[in-house]
Amino acid sequence: MNITLSVTQLDRWNQTGYIKIPGFLTAAETENLREWVDEISSWPADDEKWMHHFEQTPFGVRPARTEYILAFHSGIRQLLTQGKIPECAGELMGEPAILYKEKINYKYPGGGGYAAHQDAPAYEFIRNHITCSVAVDAATPENGCLFFAPELHQRGLLHLDKNGCIDAEYAETLDWEPIPMQPGDALFFSSYAPHKSPPNATEQSRRTLYLTYNAVTEGDLREEYYADKRRSFAQADPTSDEKLKISKIGHFDGKPA
Ligand SMILES: O=C(O)CCC(=O)C(=O)O
């Protein structure tokens, strides 16, 4: 399937730095994705393979994130590397796109939120990159959907704090738009678009896939990114922080398990 975005969609993307495409996956694709995410979340911990991150919630220890999935799941590999998701990312980028990283953020009941941030500081190896998020469960302001501040994606990095996030006082001055999603909806966003999300205050999970693509002209840097991430996590002192570190920036408010 060839993806062609309308002029209105492209204008919105250029103006705000993000665009939601309702019903991006078909019902059958959405159902497959839900089954695959159920499967992946039950994989045993294996530091040599996929990377699971767990958080302490009021209801016990729950998975917060799984990443580095591609080599271990053929359905996910096909969805992320062929067809409409990479094609649409390429169309928005203005040149063919290649996968840089992939993750599932689970946000189970009581799961932590994310402080206001831009993704760019976490992805050191690439310049031109965008992320596609795909809803596995419905996402609402109550269960922790994303909120975006529009029209700031062309201003570079904004007032970063010591964690690589947007300074909290500055973030409070921004206008935040919630982006609720239904399963199968996609939301593409620039790596400079400021976003954040609250904790999950409901009894249902809010699982979302996040797929980051860079311009092919910058190279295939995924393995290098993950090798570097594994190295820096292995060197970090796990007891040094009250927050669970799941990224190279300190944006996640979940508690260590
Ligand atoms: O899953 C969320 O609620 C936010 C995720 C996010 O912004 C990130 O992982 O950088």
Strand order of the β-sheet with 195-197 is 114-117, 195-197, 146-148, 177-179
Cα 98 to ligand 1 centre (Å):
20
Cα 114 to ligand 1 centre (Å):
6
Domain parsing of the chain, residue ranges: 14-237
Nearest alpha carbon, ligand 1 atom 9: 105
**Can you tell me which residue has the tokens 């993704």?**
119
Whether pLDDT at 219 is above 90: yes
**Nearest residue to 97 (alpha-carbon basis) of 218, 11, 195, 5:** 218
| Residue 107 CA from chain centroid, whole number | 12
Cα 4 to ligand 1 centre (Å):
27
pTM of the model: 0.94
> How many CA atoms lie within 13 Å of 2's alpha carbon, on the beta-carbon side?
2
| pLDDT value of residue 236 | 72
Is 14-237 assigned to CATH 1.10.3720.10?
no
Distance CA 218, CA 40 (A): 30
Q: Which two tokens stand for residue 153?
A: 């994606």
| pLDDT value of residue 234 | 81
| pLDDT value of residue 240 | 57
Q: Which two tokens stand for residue 204?
A: 């249902």
| pLDDT value of residue 124 | 78
Q: Is the CB of 195 under 6 A from ligand 1?
A: yes
Distance CA 236, CA 188 (A): 31
Q: Is the CB of 105 under 6 A from ligand 1?
A: yes
Q: Are 51 and 67 in contact (CB under 8 A)?
A: yes
| pLDDT value of residue 195 | 98
pLDDT average, residue stretch 191-209: 98
Cα 252 to ligand 1 centre (Å):
8
Nearest alpha carbon, ligand 1 atom 3: 197
